[in-house]
């Protein structure tokens, strides 16, 4: 299987890369997508909590920090997916994975009062990914939204959970879409929990 | 004196909400952005001393500062803030497998206007809102902000920016509800576009009039709930949408 990680900037991404390599997979990270003839697993590993993105609504807001977070956590993953499509089209698994955070990006569950740039970008990423999923799922693509629980679960354990979630297929019944769990767009974390949007 | 600031009040829902608040006796500060719309001037002439058009580009912190200075000249508090200003954008450059490449600058513009703008406005006007009696913050969101119920397969830019708005509102709610503020997220429905002459452009028979949506919004915006601690997205028919 050929896997592509958009970058290995985080401990989690590095651990995932190591784990996939140990599993005998061909893994590329951050390299030019145009050089890949085919691709099975695409993982957008962007998960950037920027310095300075820590104000509350009562404090001075830096709009440019928010927009930088949007560029890095929202635009970059979606543009990378667009660039990866020609190679993914030729692969067999057609699995698309994004990294996010339940505690910070779930509108239902967030208890945060700061970190607007990260939270807004990741919430928007969920919706953009959902719409991409709606477009690509009928072509055989499947999507994963994953929270590595940064700071709470060791990167190696998070990578093990990610490998399981990224590579295993969920229930799939091509004759009865209502029984197909893959059609459901969900966010799971490194402890296997499903987060509401 | 009860006061309200409405962003994006040049036309459509924002203008209709200004009319509704005037009916209730509020002094209205109406955010103006569109140079080719003069409908606010007519409404101001009909309501001297009660409706003040205020130049306001919610994506520009300097414009927000200027608007704050202008509103402060006429009032020492704001009871209600209504965030209506939005950038719809076209469907081009915002779909996977689209004819054109996705444009990150346009993605950023949608988030800057539709999600960051309301946050910047609340931050800037917080001292006046803190001094107000009602402490009610209302945000126009959209059905397309719901990740749970999203069925579209293209044109994600506007949709994702409204999801980002919901997130910003959640975080403001986390910070400000304990301080006495209450919040409304409103899904206004698919509305006819109001043209510069005041007429409504009917693109589809399923579209509703902005005035109808505004009238349906008012009980939501002005009412009190027993469960104010719960942030919910309510539509113009009273239905609650999942996030």
Q: What is the ipTM of this complex?
A: 0.96
Q: What is the pLDDT of residues A8-63, one digit of tens each?
A: 999 999 999 999 999 999 999 988 888 899 999 999 999 999 999 999 999 999 99
| Least confident segment among A26-35, A169-178, A184-193, B110-119 | A169-178
Phi, psi of B54 (to 5 degrees): -130, 115
Asked whether residue B31 carries a pLDDT value surpassing 70, the answer given is yes
Interface test with B, best of A128, A134, A196 (most B CBs within 10 A): A128
| Residue B243 to residue A126, Cβ atoms within 8 A | no
Could you tell me the residue ranges of all domains in chain B?
3-241
H or E stretch at B187:
strand B182-187
| Residue B243 to residue A82, Cβ atoms within 8 A | no
Q: Which of B119, B162, B174 sits opposite A61 (nearest CB)?
A: B119
Q: Which residue from A minimizes the CA distance to B100?
A: A82
Partner B contacted by A130 (CB < 8 A)? yes
Cα dihedral sign, A26-A31-A35-A40: positive
Q: Measured between alpha carbons, how far is A105 from A99 in angstroms, rounded to an integer? A: 11
Q: Which of B111, B112, B171 sits opposite A110 (nearest CB)?
A: B171
| Residue A78 to residue B108, Cβ atoms within 8 A | no
Nearest-Cα distance to chain B for A193, in Å, is: 17
Q: Which of B147, B156, B171 sits opposite A119 (nearest CB)?
A: B171
Look at residue B41 in the predicted model and tell me its pLDDT.
96
Q: Measured between alpha carbons, how far is B29 from B216 in angstroms, rounded to an integer? A: 21
Nearest-Cα distance to chain A for B29, in Å, is: 22
| Least confident segment among A86-95, B57-66, B83-92, B150-159 | B83-92
Residues of B in contact with A100 (CB under 8 A): none
Task: Give me the torsion for CA of A163, A169, A171, A174, rounded to 10°.
Answer: 160
Q: Please report, for the domain that includes residue A85, its CATH number.
A: 3.40.50.720
| Residue B120 to residue A61, Cβ atoms within 8 A | yes
Fold of B3-241: Rossmann fold (3.40.50)
Asked whether residue A98 carries a pLDDT value surpassing 90, the answer given is yes
- In sequence order, what DSSP letters do the residues of A117-183 get, joined into one string? HHHHHHHHHHHHHHHHHHHHGGGT-EEEEEE--TTTS-HHHHHHHHHHHHHS-----TT-GGG-GGG
% residues pLDDT > 70 (chain A):
99
Q: What is the pLDDT of residues A110-135, one digit of tens each?
A: 999 999 999 999 999 999 999 999 99
| Residue A134 to residue B61, Cβ atoms within 8 A | no
Asked whether residue A178 carries a pLDDT value surpassing 80, the answer given is no
| Residue B160 to residue A124, Cβ atoms within 8 A | yes
The answer to whether the beta carbons of residues A86 and A134 sit under 8 Å apart is no
Q: What is the pLDDT of residues B5-30, one digit of tens each?
A: 999 999 999 999 999 999 999 999 99
Overall number of domains in chain A: 1
| Residue B119 to residue A130, Cβ atoms within 8 A | no
Q: What is the pLDDT of residues B190-225, one digit of tens each?
A: 999 999 999 999 999 999 999 999 999 999 999 999
Asked whether residue A177 carries a pLDDT value surpassing 70, the answer given is no
Q: What is the pLDDT of residues B49-70, one digit of tens each?
A: 999 999 999 999 999 999 999 9
Nearest-Cα distance to chain A for B8, in Å, is: 20
The answer to whether the beta carbons of residues B32 and B56 sit under 8 Å apart is yes
Partner B contacted by A119 (CB < 8 A)? yes
Token pair of B124 as six digits: 């800037």
Q: What is the pLDDT of residues B96-122, one digit of tens each?
A: 999 999 999 999 999 999 999 999 999
Q: Which of A56, A71, A127 sits opposite B150 (nearest CB)?
A: A127
| Residue B111 to residue A71, Cβ atoms within 8 A | no
Task: Give me the torsion for CA of B31, B34, B35, B41, rounded to 10°.
Answer: -50
Domain extent at residue A167? 2-195
């Amino acid at each position: 299987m050929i896997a592509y990680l958009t970058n290995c900037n985080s401990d989690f991404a590095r651990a995932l890369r190591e784990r996939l390599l140990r599993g005998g997979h061909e893994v590329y990270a951050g390299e030019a997508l145009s050089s890949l003839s085919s691709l099975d697993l695409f993982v957008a590993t962007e998960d950037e909590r920027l310095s300075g993105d820590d104000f509350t609504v009562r404090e001075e807001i830096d709009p440019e920090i928010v927009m930088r977070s949007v560029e890095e956590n929202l635009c970059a993953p979606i543009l990378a997916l667009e660039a990866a499509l020609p190679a993914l089209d030729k692969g067999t698994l057609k699995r698309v994975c994004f990294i996010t955070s339940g505690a910070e990006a779930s509108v239902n569950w967030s208890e945060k009062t700061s970190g607007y740039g990260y939270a807004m970008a990741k919430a928007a990423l969920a919706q953009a990914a959902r719409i991409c999923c709606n477009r690509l799922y009928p072509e055989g693509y499947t999507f994963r939204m994953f929270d590595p629980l940064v700071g709470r679960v060791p990167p190696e354990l998070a990578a093990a959970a990610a490998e399981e979630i990224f590579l295993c297929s969920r229930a799939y019944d091509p004759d009865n879409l209502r029984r197909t769990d893959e059609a459901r767009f969900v966010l799971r974390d490194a402890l296997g929990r499903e987060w509401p949007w | 004196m009860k006061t309200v600031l409405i962003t994006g009040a040049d036309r459509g829902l924002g203008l209709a909400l200004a009319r509704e608040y005037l009916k209730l006796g509020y002094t209205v500060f109406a955010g103006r952005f569109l140079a080719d719309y003069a409908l606010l001037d007519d409404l101001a002439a009909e309501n001297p001393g009660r409706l003040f058009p205020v130049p306001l580009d919610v994506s520009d912190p300097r414009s927000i500062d200027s608007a704050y200075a202008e509103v402060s000249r006429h009032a020492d508090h704001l009871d209600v803030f209504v965030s209506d200003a939005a950038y719809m954008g076209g469907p081009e450059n915002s779909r996977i497998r689209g004819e054109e490449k996705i444009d990150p600058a346009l993605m950023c513009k949608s988030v800057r206007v539709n999600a960051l703008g309301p946050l910047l406005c609340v931050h800037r006007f917080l001292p006046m809102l803190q001094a107000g009696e009602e402490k009610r913050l209302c945000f126009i969101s959209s059905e397309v902000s719901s990740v749970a119920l999203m069925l579209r397969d293209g044109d994600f830019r506007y949709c994702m920016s409204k999801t980002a708005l919901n997130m910003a509102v959640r975080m403001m709610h986390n910070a400000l509800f304990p301080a006495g503020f209450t919040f409304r997220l409103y899904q206004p429905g698919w509305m006819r576009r109001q043209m510069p002459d005041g007429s409504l452009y009917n693109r589809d028979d399923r579209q509703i009039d902005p005035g109808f949506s505004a009238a349906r919004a008012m009980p939501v915006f002005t009412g009190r709930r027993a469960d104010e601690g719960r942030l919910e997205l309510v539509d113009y028919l009273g239905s609650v949408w999942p996030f």
